[in-house]
Amino acid sequence: MSKTTIFFLAILLGAVIGGAIAGWWVFRNVDARLMLRDQPAIIVLPEPLSVSADVLNDLSIEIDTAITTTVPVDQRISIPVEETLRVNASFDSEIPIKMNVPVKDYIVIDQLLDVNTVVKADLLGDTHDLPLRGKIPVKARVPVNLNIPVDQMVHLKFTAPVEAKLKQALDVPLKADIAATIPIRSKMDVPVKSALKANITVPDPAAVVITEADLRLPLRTLRLNTAGDDAAAPAAAKEPAP
């Protein structure tokens, strides 16, 4: 073998080695860049997606419920009262009494009266004075018909049922906590001024359009397949995992 042939073989071997080193460096450090515009795609989101959205229109809310609450009340209220009250009244005091009391009755007399007097008597056509001494029983009913004036203070103490007609407005202080159930039936439009935070879950594959994408693919992650490998790949994906 001549020196020229050896020289060319050395150059060729050096080129192969240099190309292998350069290819290995490119494979480890160079990325492929793929530009996509208006590219249809089908995606699946395995996890909920947190989003923040601004609501431009007012939210129409229809409310049909009941709210149980406690209402504190501290005020004075006026209550009109118009009815007859039946109560027990007690009285203990002195009152002046000025009146005439008619008395119409009989006084029964049953007693002995001592008599010592001189009685004129007609005896045989002449009038003579006869002394009369002794005890004379007297029984009689003497009628009495008098008007007795009364003007004095009389002490009275009693308790008796009375009826009182009440017709006025009572001013009553009211301080209490009132439990109430308030029914609410309304329809309203509520403006939303802050952004709403929500989680979006896509359970099924969704069709999307990639408007613009700049993909960088490391060459070390790329594989070269034949047409037969492309047909077998979907079939292998459908087989259940062992």
pLDDT at residue 187 in the model:
82
pLDDT tens for each residue of 143-182 = 888 888 888 888 888 888 888 787 878 788 888 888 888 8
Contact 185, 124 (CB under 8 A): no
Contact 213, 35 (CB under 8 A): yes
Bridge partner residues of 138 (DSSP) = 111
Helix (H/G/I), strand (E/B), else coil: 225? coil
pLDDT at residue 234 in the model:
47
pLDDT at residue 73 in the model:
82
Helix (H/G/I), strand (E/B), else coil: 10? helix
- The structural domains of the chain, with segments of one domain joined by +, span 1-54+195-242, 61-191
pTM for the full predicted model: 0.27
- Give pLDDT < 70 ranges for the chain: 1-3, 7, 26-27, 29-32, 123-125, 217-242
pLDDT at residue 242 in the model:
36
Over its C-alpha atoms, the chain yields an Rg (Å, rounded) of 66
Nearest alpha carbon to residue 40 among 211, 241, 219 = 211
